[in-house]
Chains A and B, each alone.
Chain A
Amino acid sequence: DGGITQSPKYLFRKEGQNVTLSCEQNLNHDAMYWYRQDPGQGLRLIYYSQIVNDFQKGDIAEGYSVSREKKESFPLTVTSAQKNPTAFYLCASTMTGGNQPQHFGDGTRLSIL
């Protein structure tokens, strides 16, 4: 089955710790995205990548980092610089060109210990 797999489903972070959220897709999509979802605020874009080895900051990139070494993988690291990391993190992907809609994984819930 084609789709987007996010892991882990739940993640806990200690003070001063960096944590990495995994996102893998087998849809052969070119573009991948990371969003943060907080209650009452909708989805906000953290980073996106339209091609391997290239990525751009979204609206709330501070305290986060990404890499795109393979087409199917787009991991997100939440660094210790992100002071309010508790949120639901969603990964999405789409084909570039043709204005295709984005498809989402089932998210990772990150909490502070």
Chain B
Amino acid sequence: QKEVEQDPGPLSVPEGAIVSLNCTYSNSAFQYFMWYRQYSRKGPELLMYTYSSGNKEDGRFTAQVDKSSKYISLFIRDSQPSDSATYLCAMYTGTASKLTFGTGTRLQVTL
């Protein structure tokens, strides 16, 4: 079993929809959580970085962490075609330098 599980998709939604992307993890030592957006043939771009359980909002993006359930989510409101990309969750314990990534969810926002 992988330490971080993420549905690969693809997930297709109409423009304007609310998108929910999720990751589950098995290592309770993970404390820091990130969401990256990756366009085709580009490097991952940091979207959200959270530490504690709860919600963090930045514009149309909300990151949610539930450490008791070992579950993190990224919500995208009013989705746009420009949001079409692969979304990677990543996390680490804080005591090690190594990030552990999910495999990524491919999102397609259609007109």
Report yes or no: A31 in contact with B43, Cβ–Cβ below 8 A: no
Contact of A101 among B4, B6, B46, B103 (CB under 8 A): B46
Contact of A43 among B41, B88, B92, B97 (CB under 8 A): B88
Given contacts A90-B43, A90-B44, A107-B43, contact A99 B32 (CB under 8 A): yes
Q: Chain B residues with Cβ under 8 A from A90's Cβ?
A: 43-44
Could you tell me how many residues of chain A have their Cβ less than 8 Å away from some Cβ of chain B? 24
Report yes or no: B41 in contact with A31, Cβ–Cβ below 8 A: no
Name which of A31, A33, A99, A105 has the most chain B CB atoms within 10 A of its CB. Answer: A99
Nearest B residue to A10 via CB reads: B41
User: Majority SS of interface residues in chain A?
Assistant: strand
Is A8's beta carbon under 8 Å from chain B? no
Given contacts A40-B8, A40-B103, A107-B42, contact A48 B49 (CB under 8 A): no
Is A102's beta carbon under 8 Å from chain B? yes
Could you tell me how many residues of chain B have their Cβ less than 8 Å away from some Cβ of chain A? 26
Is A69's beta carbon under 8 Å from chain B? no
Q: Chain B residues with Cβ under 8 A from A48's Cβ?
A: 97-98
In the assembled complex, the Cα of A4 lies from the Cα of B98 at a distance in Å of 19
Report yes or no: B44 in contact with A104, Cβ–Cβ below 8 A: yes
Give the distance to chain B from A70, nearest Cβ to Cβ, in Å: 19
Is A16's beta carbon under 8 Å from chain B? no
B residues 12-59 near A (Cβ < 8 Å) are 31-32, 34, 36, 41-46, 49, 51
Report yes or no: A41 in contact with B99, Cβ–Cβ below 8 A: no
Nearest B residue to A105 via CB reads: B43
Contact of B41 among A41, A42, A102, A109 (CB under 8 A): A109
Nearest A residue to B92 via CB reads: A99
Q: Chain A residues with Cβ under 8 A from B32's Cβ?
A: 99, 101
Is A80's beta carbon under 8 Å from chain B? no
Interface residues of chain A, those whose CB is within 8 Å of chain B, are: 4, 6, 31, 33, 40-43, 45, 48, 50, 56, 58, 90, 96, 99, 101-107, 109
Interface residues of chain B, those whose CB is within 8 Å of chain A, are: 4, 6, 8, 31-32, 34, 36, 41-46, 49, 51, 88, 90, 92, 94, 97-99, 101-104
